[in-house]
Structure 1
Amino acid sequence: MEFAEAVETVLRDLRAQCAVQPEIRSDDTIGITLWAPDGSGHGLTPHPDGTVAELLVHLADQVQDWAVETLWSEGVSAIWPQCPTHPDTHPLTATVHTDAAVWICPKERTTVERIGELKSH
């Protein structure tokens, strides 16, 4: 999986469940940057080595950082993605489980969904 394809996989989850959406800019020298409504940017970096699942988790962590900071600055709940079992208490955590990149509930350690497959709510 190429870097741009991995970014698009993670961004599907952001589009499905985040109240604030980034402006996405791609540049051959800088890479891919997510821009918030307040004008701040957050560059996405590739995982230097590792599996496709590790790349997706690495990117999901970066996108989650952008989402939390942006949601907070917009004055809305800074939890993304929401845990469906424990809404408004904690976000899901990206991890590799049985060679797949998944979102888990950090409290119960249960898999909620594969990264890139979160449903809109």
Structure 2
Amino acid sequence: MSSTSLPFVLDLLRHDLEATIGYRLSVLPRPAVFDQDVDSVWLVGRARSRTGVLATTGLSTVELILQVAEHVQDFVQEEMAVVSGSNWPECPIHRGTHPAQPKDVDGVATWTCPEVGVSIAPIGKLHRVPDEGNRASPEPGR
């Protein structure tokens, strides 16, 4: 059972969003569902649309991060599809073709390339590559 909280996981994802594409995730800290087995909040879109993020209680830290990352990734891809495409976070190995995928890599919640399985960066550790613009990349030395 994890002691990691939903707000902590959302902060990891906020970092990755702001660092890679400058997107500020808006969270309404009210329950999206009332269920003792689920922690939840609302994500608020640019057009004030909302979607619930559900975090099942009792998951390990890695499972919780992966579950929330998938919810947030789906939300952001729908939001971004309208303005600039929906590959967030972009896979730096295959730029412009697909987003990175959240996956458990040796007990660490990690962004990976879904085609070749290569680890890109732990979730919460992406950053912008200055010479490539808004490209997702791991922090130096990680």
TM-score normalized by the length of structure 2 = 0.77
Match in the other structure for 2:121: 113
Match in the other structure for 2:41: 32
Give the letter aligned to residue 21 of structure 2: C
The question of 1:22 aligning with 2:30 is answered: no
Q: Which runs of 4+ in 1 moved over 6 A?
A: none
Give the letter aligned to residue 72 of structure 1: A
Match in the other structure for 1:66: 75
Secondary structure in 1 matching 2:126: coil
Higher relative contact order (CA 8 A, sep 6+): 1
CA contact (8 A) 1:77 1:88 kept: no
1: CA distance, partners of 2:46 / 2:5: 28
The question of 1:78 aligning with 2:112 is answered: no
Q: Which ranges in structure 1 are unaligned for 5 or more consecutive residues?
A: none
What is the Cα deviation at residue 47 of structure 1? 2.5
2: CA distance, partners of 1:66 / 1:78: 10
What is the Cα deviation at residue 44 of structure 1? 1.1
Q: Which has the higher strand share?
A: 2
TM-score normalized by the length of structure 1 = 0.89
Paired-residue identity, % = 24
Number of residue-to-residue matches in the alignment:
119
Larger CA Rg, structure 1 vs 2: 2
Secondary structure in 1 matching 2:63: helix
Note closer, same or farther for the CA distance 1:76–1:19 as it changes in structure 2 (3 Å cut).
Answer: farther
